[in-house]
Amino acid sequence: MMLLHWSPRSPFVHKVMVALEETGLRLGVELTRSVVPTEDPEHVIWSVNPLGQIPTLVLDDGRALYDSLVICMYLDEASGKGILLPADGGKRIDTLRRHALGNGLIEDMVLWLIERFAPAERQVAARLVRYGIKLQKTLAAIEADPDLRNPSRFDVGDIAIATALAYIEFRRLKPGWQTEFPQTAGWFAQVNDRPSMVAARLQDG
């Protein structure tokens, strides 16, 4: 059985959990809670991932896969379904383009949250402003482009964008964003009710 180093609070793990549900492979993966970042050099995460990051998926043969996109690609291939990343060149690039947008927003929102929780004397005002601009611009881009929120499709690009929005909700990074971006909010409400998204809900604990 495969082993996933996991946390219910990580948006990067969330992407993998949604992929596991979508591909039907969830029951073949054991979850182990790994707290990162860790300064304990003996923590088990270092033995499987020298970067000390989650998600990390340990395969049956002992190999470890890092990075949520790599793990999602592996799951898509292992399932034989080809539903997360199209084989067709043009569609594949479009999927990866949308993934880059969603994943980039996730990365920025995690850094924004860290900056906001830092002691006041260590906060950098310019960073706080910059992350806020990135969020506003990305939400506006999703609102303006129907292809970024196509309800008839749910590949790894859609999972990344949906996860970014779920993380914004989870951490209350922009209360009331749904009113300003109603088309995006409608799409998110629809995909957020998918069984895979429900099963992978972000939560503290």
| pLDDT tens-place string over residues 114-146 | 998 888 888 888 999 999 999 999 999 999 999
Q: Which pLDDT does position 205 carry in this prediction?
A: 73
Asked whether the beta carbons of 103 and 97 are under 8 A apart, the reply is no
The phi, psi pair for 33, rounded to 5°, reads -75, 125
- The identity of residue 142, as a single letter, is I
Q: CA–CA separation, 101 vs 141, rounded Å?
A: 10
Q: Which pLDDT does position 170 carry in this prediction?
A: 97
Asked whether the beta carbons of 129 and 34 are under 8 A apart, the reply is no
Question: Checking phi first, is residue 165 left (phi over 0); if not, alpha (psi -120 to 50) or beta?
Answer: alpha
Averaged over 158-178, what is the pLDDT?
Answer: 97
- The identity of residue 20, as a single letter, is L
Q: Which pLDDT does position 56 carry in this prediction?
A: 98
Q: Which pLDDT does position 39 carry in this prediction?
A: 85
Q: Which pLDDT does position 40 carry in this prediction?
A: 86
Q: pLDDT digits over 22-71, tens only?
A: 999 999 999 999 988 778 888 899 999 999 999 999 999 999 999 999 99
Q: CA–CA separation, 6 vs 10, rounded Å?
A: 8
pLDDT band at 113 (very low <50, low <70, confident <90, very high): very high
Q: CA–CA separation, 176 vs 157, rounded Å?
A: 24
Share of the chain above pLDDT 90, in %: 89
Q: Which pLDDT does position 46 carry in this prediction?
A: 93
Share of the chain above pLDDT 70, in %: 100
Domains and CATH numbers, the chain: 2-79 (3.40.30.10), 89-198 (1.20.1050.10)
What residues have CB less than 8 Å from 19, skipping those under 6 apart?
A: 71, 72, 75, 76, 84, 156, 159, 196
What residues have CB less than 8 Å from 167, skipping those under 6 apart?
A: 11, 14, 106, 109, 110, 173, 202
Averaged over 173-177, what is the pLDDT?
Answer: 96
Q: CA–CA separation, 170 vs 69, rounded Å?
A: 21
